[in-house]
A and B are shown apart, each in its own frame.
Chain A
Amino acid sequence: MTAPTPNPRETYDDDVVRLFFGATVLWAVVGMLLGVIIALQLAWWPANLGLPYTTFGRLRPLHTNAVIFAYAGNVCFMGIYYSLQRLLRVRMFNDTLSQIHFWGWQLIIVAAALTLPFGLTQGKEYAELIWPIDLAITVIWVVFAVNFFGTIAIRKVDHLYVAIWFYMSFVLTVAVLHIVNSLALPATLTRSYPVYSGMTDALVQWWYGHNAVAFFLTTPFLGLMYYFMPKAADKPVFSYRLSIIHFWALVFLYIWAGPHHLLYSGLPDWAQTLGMVFSIMLIAPSWGGMLNGLLTLRGAWDRVRTDPILKFMVVAVSFYGMSTFEGPMMSIRAVNGLAHFTNWVVGHVHSGALGWNGMLGFALLYWLAPRLWGPIARPAWVETHFWMATIGIVLYIVSMWMGGLTEGLLWRAINEDGLLQYPSFVDIVNRLQPFYWARFLGGLLFLSGVILMAINLWMTASQAGRAAPTPVPLPAK
């Protein structure tokens, strides 16, 4: 152990990483608990509790905002603040900006929780937050961007490692998406109307919505994969060349994919076709990333059997590969005609969210805890958590596939007379109940694993205490 250094700039700022770490665990529990509650509401409607604040229509946006922007957002910030400093061999540009970023982001999440249940919403999926909160997001994002690019500007190494390219596209593109999609005219303090109307609003929203998946849930997580997976496996990244090709292909192609959310709508055919074609092309760069991640484990596969962190990572990257294959398939018009509006889409989203974002986030938490505090308090629980999460996801996805195909096929079934074979919509709804219950159980199992993780990490931090600050290595001459 080195003695505490008098100049903080000679150490990495891990305090802010610890803050984002705690927020990640907290919002994981909250966001996924909300998910389990709304899953129960579909299986058993009295769980809506008869209150305006707890109906599915108001809690579902709270769930999506909590898991995307609170849980996944904090995972990204935690991983970026940890890895950026080490990759650039310099402390973050400005500690005050780091603190403003952390507390500002958490306040935005609290503001979301204090508005959405009260029906204060913009009514655009994944962009529900009202205009004053949108402004706050913009300010905090600029703070983050200044801190991020400031750190790059004062770096002590020339090369920008591949992870940083992905972080960069996250910082820049999310800013563009958020600003363009949120342009609106306020009518009151809590209500505004978008400057776009009808189909144009729909197109802008799904350009935003799909690229929130791309640049909030994919590119930063790929960056995290590129830093933390080689660290955990103790192997260099498989191919630098592949990372270059799939980075540029991914950022160029992804932005076109939004219109696949509007197939068979009033959107002009050319835009629908572009959305479909680019979605299919996306398989290539997506699988480029998956393969680069999995092949990084060459020569380390024996350790996957014994190291639960590597297990989480392998399953996360595999789910990434799976959902980036499923997504393009669902973007094909004919397949979309069946899948759209059904539970299949919900299953697809969760194979990405629980599998890719969930599992990779958990791997990071378990890998960072010993470095930020000390040895994991209950190592055996990590393995237990892994299996709870994996079995939970499988239950979730399979039940949603079956439920989705059921409703999709029954909605469109035409009898010999050319009439609807199942004219009663509610009859079809009632056939979905077993799938809703199975999904609820899958989600509950996944949530239980997260709670187990939270307890384990809490014990780890309180037993071990903070790790000593890591000194910034002197630049190699």
Chain B
Amino acid sequence: MSDDSVRYTSWHRAALENKGGLFAVLSVVAISVGSLVELVPMMAIAYAPEDIAGIEPYTPLEVAGRDIYVREGCYVCHSQWVRPFRSETLRYGEWSRAGEYIYDRPFQLGSRRIGPDVHRVGGKYNDAWHYEHMKDPRSTSPGSVMPPYDWLHEATWDKDDVAASVHALHTLGHPYSADVLADPGGVAFKQAEEITARLADSNIKTTPDKEIVALIAYLQRLGTDGRAAVAKAPGGAQ
């Protein structure tokens, strides 16, 4: 013990390592520098480092669909993030811009591709494809390891629930018109009827209140605003 105390005696030991409070404060200062430098600039700009004209908030039905996407943990296997590589734009389409995500709460970029990226899946397949794919993934994608999500075809979304979500997102700054805010559930139901009508054309009978309908609405919207906006922008799609 005595050897140690001789060896370790130094100015900083008495000044710092013996002072719990000061040590705690300084260690918080140490982690604050990097945090502030990186986080504050991104927080200071309201949404994204680049504004893209034509990015609109999700419709109430798409919000319900997105909530289902988050609930099922789709982000665990599917990214929503096409990187600016030739191999990725060939496989998935236009690469992902920061400004496209401004209405994404929570963000769903993902970190793993057990399945393919889905950021440009909107419009890639028809509604019936998604309906069948969720019921039995191997019917549309032979060899897939995705589990079936057939309960989505039975479970129903709730109008009040959709309203609560839309109002919360509105509070956070997502612009919704007074008409939508007056009856988010009703607006959602109308869009759902359009989807069920299209499904009926493919000989699929279902009702607008089913969760699968909301999920299809969200998936068909994914990446479409961004794709259209980039095509119109100077320089266009790459």
Q: Which residues of A contact B (CB under 8 A)?
A: 41-42, 45, 48, 50, 52, 55-58, 60-61, 119-125, 149, 152-153, 155, 158-160, 165, 168-169, 172-173, 176, 180, 185-188, 191-205, 207, 211, 236, 240, 244, 248, 251-256, 258-259, 261-262, 264-268, 271, 274-275, 278, 337, 340-342, 345-346, 407, 411-414, 418-420, 423, 425-427, 429-430, 476
Q: Is B237 an interface position by the 8 A CB rule?
A: no
The residues of B that contact A201 with a CB separation of less than 8 Å are 104-107
Indicate which residue in A191, A198, A244, A418 contacts B101 across the interface (CB closer than 8 Å): A198
Instruction: Write the chain B residue with the least CB distance to A157.
Output: B18
Instruction: Write the chain A residue with the least CB distance to B112.
Output: A341
A119-B72 contact, Cβ under 8 Å, with A160-B18, A194-B105, A258-B38? yes
Using an 8 Å CB-CB cutoff, how does the interface string of B92-133 with A read, 1 for contact, 0 for none? 000011111111111111111111100000000000000000
The residues of B that contact A58 with a CB separation of less than 8 Å are 72-73
Distance to closest chain B CB from A77 (angstroms): 19
Contact yes or no, B104 A57, CB < 8 A: no
Indicate which residue in A186, A271, A414 contacts B86 across the interface (CB closer than 8 Å): A414
Contact yes or no, B42 A341, CB < 8 A: no
Contact yes or no, A259 B38, CB < 8 A: yes
Q: Is B144 an interface position by the 8 A CB rule?
A: yes
The residues of A that contact B194 with a CB separation of less than 8 Å are none
Indicate which residue in A52, A202, A337, A407 contacts B109 across the interface (CB closer than 8 Å): A202
Q: Is B205 an interface position by the 8 A CB rule?
A: no
A266-B48 contact, Cβ under 8 Å, with A125-B111, A413-B87? yes
Indicate which residue in B20, B84, B99 contacts A160 across the interface (CB closer than 8 Å): B20
Contact yes or no, A274 B104, CB < 8 A: no
The residues of A that contact B148 with a CB separation of less than 8 Å are 48, 50
Give Cα A52 to B134, complex, Å: 12
The residues of B that contact A412 with a CB separation of less than 8 Å are 85, 87-88
Q: Is B234 an interface position by the 8 A CB rule?
A: no
Contact yes or no, A199 B107, CB < 8 A: yes
Contact yes or no, B96 A196, CB < 8 A: no
Indicate which residue in A176, A278, A425, A427 contacts B91 across the interface (CB closer than 8 Å): A425
Contact yes or no, A122 B106, CB < 8 A: yes
Contact yes or no, B85 A165, CB < 8 A: no
The dominant DSSP class at the A interface is helix
Contact yes or no, B98 A267, CB < 8 A: yes
The residues of A that contact B87 with a CB separation of less than 8 Å are 411-414, 420
A199-B30 contact, Cβ under 8 Å, with A56-B76, A414-B87, A426-B142? no
Contact yes or no, A185 B168, CB < 8 A: yes
Offer 13 A-B interface pairs, CB within 8 angstroms, sorted by A: A50-B147, A50-B150, A57-B77, A176-B31, A176-B35, A188-B165, A193-B165, A193-B172, A197-B47, A252-B31, A411-B91, A414-B87, A429-B145
Distance to closest chain B CB from A329 (angstroms): 18
Binds A, one of B21-29, B195-203, B214-222: B21-29
Contact yes or no, A152 B20, CB < 8 A: yes
The residues of A that contact B76 with a CB separation of less than 8 Å are 56-57, 60-61
Contact yes or no, B20 A341, CB < 8 A: no
**7 pairs of A and B residues whose beta carbons are closest in the complex:** A266-B98, A57-B73, A198-B101, A48-B147, A187-B168, A123-B70, A256-B34
The residues of A that contact B28 with a CB separation of less than 8 Å are 172-173, 176
Instruction: Write the chain A residue with the least CB distance to B3.
Output: A236
**Can you add 4 more A-B contacts, CB < 8 Å, to A198-B105, A201-B107?**
A149-B24, A160-B18, A172-B24, A194-B106
Q: Is B4 an interface position by the 8 A CB rule?
A: yes
Give Cα A248 to B29, complex, Å: 11
Give Cα A56 to B115, complex, Å: 12
The residues of A that contact B144 with a CB separation of less than 8 Å are 45, 426, 429
Give Cα A200 to B74, complex, Å: 21
Contact yes or no, A185 B42, CB < 8 A: no
Give Cα A207 to B184, complex, Å: 34
Contact yes or no, A429 B91, CB < 8 A: no
Contact yes or no, B73 A187, CB < 8 A: no
Indicate which residue in B20, B75, B97 contacts A266 across the interface (CB closer than 8 Å): B97
Give Cα A127 to B24, complex, Å: 25
Distance to closest chain A CB from B141 (angstroms): 5
Q: In chain B between 29 and 45, which residues have their CB closer than 8 angstroms to a CB of chain A?
A: 30-31, 33-35, 37-39, 41-43, 45
Q: Is B67 an interface position by the 8 A CB rule?
A: yes
Q: Is B11 an interface position by the 8 A CB rule?
A: no
Indicate which residue in B17, B143, B167 contacts A187 across the interface (CB closer than 8 Å): B167
The residues of B that contact A425 with a CB separation of less than 8 Å are 91, 115-116
Contact yes or no, A55 B72, CB < 8 A: yes
Q: Is B49 an interface position by the 8 A CB rule?
A: yes
Q: Is B177 an interface position by the 8 A CB rule?
A: no
Indicate which residue in A50, A195, A261 contacts B172 across the interface (CB closer than 8 Å): A195
Contact yes or no, B18 A197, CB < 8 A: no
Indicate which residue in B90, B104, B107 contacts A420 across the interface (CB closer than 8 Å): B90
Most buried by B among A186, A275, A341: A341
Distance to closest chain B CB from A53 (angstroms): 10
Give Cα A253 to B33, complex, Å: 9
Q: Is B164 an interface position by the 8 A CB rule?
A: yes
Instruction: Write the chain B residue with the least CB distance to A124.
Output: B106
Q: Is B232 an interface position by the 8 A CB rule?
A: no
Distance to closest chain B CB from A129 (angstroms): 13
Distance to closest chain B CB from A90 (angstroms): 13
A420-B111 contact, Cβ under 8 Å, with A56-B147, A191-B165, A199-B48? no
Q: Is B180 an interface position by the 8 A CB rule?
A: no
Contact yes or no, A119 B71, CB < 8 A: yes
The residues of A that contact B45 with a CB separation of less than 8 Å are 200
The residues of B that contact A60 with a CB separation of less than 8 Å are 73, 76
Contact yes or no, A264 B112, CB < 8 A: no
Q: Is B176 an interface position by the 8 A CB rule?
A: no
Contact yes or no, B70 A266, CB < 8 A: no
The residues of B that contact A57 with a CB separation of less than 8 Å are 72-74, 76-77
